[in-house]
């Protein structure tokens, strides 16, 4: 079952990336799907994203949530599996924490010189 979940996660990440790239205009903001986590029964999937610049995170989440019905509809038509997991978008806090650690380490390196 774990292998199937991995395959579904990978497929969702690939297809949702294509959909949002084609269907949604984020302006000059870069949006990346970093991870997909579906639950064990494959009914729901959490789509983790990063946004650059970070100050646009709330705006991008709002855009995605406003378009989630259309994204889900396209995904349902595209995938040959039933049921297709219901998707939810969320900011990837792990990557966000890596950015913070990187900034702190850069500041510490500058102090040593």
CATH of domain 2-112: 3.30.300.20
Query: What percent of the chain lies above the pLDDT cut of 90?
Result: 73
pLDDT in the model for residue 98: 67
Does position 1 have pLDDT exceeding 90, yes or no? no
- Global confidence as pTM: 0.82
Q: What is the tens place of the pLDDT at every residue in 64-106?
A: 999 999 999 999 999 988 899 999 999 998 876 666 676 677 7
- Answer with the residue of higher pLDDT: 14 or 100: 14
8 A C-beta contact, residue 5 and residue 41: no
- Please provide the average confidence, as pLDDT, over all residues in the chain: 90
Three-class SS of residue 108? helix
CA separation, residue 69 to residues 63, 85, 100 (Å): 11, 13, 33
- Strand 30-38: give its sheet, edge to edge: 30-38, 44-52, 86-91
């Amino acid at each position: 079952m774990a292998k199937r979940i991995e395959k579904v996660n990978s497929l969702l990440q690939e297809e949702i990336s294509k959909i949002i790239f084609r269907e949604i205009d984020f302006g000059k903001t870069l949006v990346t799907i970093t991870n997909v986590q579906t639950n064990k029964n494959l009914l729901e999937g959490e789509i983790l994203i990063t946004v650059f610049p970070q100050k646009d995170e709330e705006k991008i989440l709002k855009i995605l949530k406003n378009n989630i019905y259309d994204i889900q509809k396209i995904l349902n038509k595209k995938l040959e599996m039933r049921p297709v997991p219901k998707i939810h978008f969320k900011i990837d806090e792990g990557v966000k924490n890596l950015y913070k650690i990187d900034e702190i380490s850069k500041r510490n390196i500058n102090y040593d010189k």
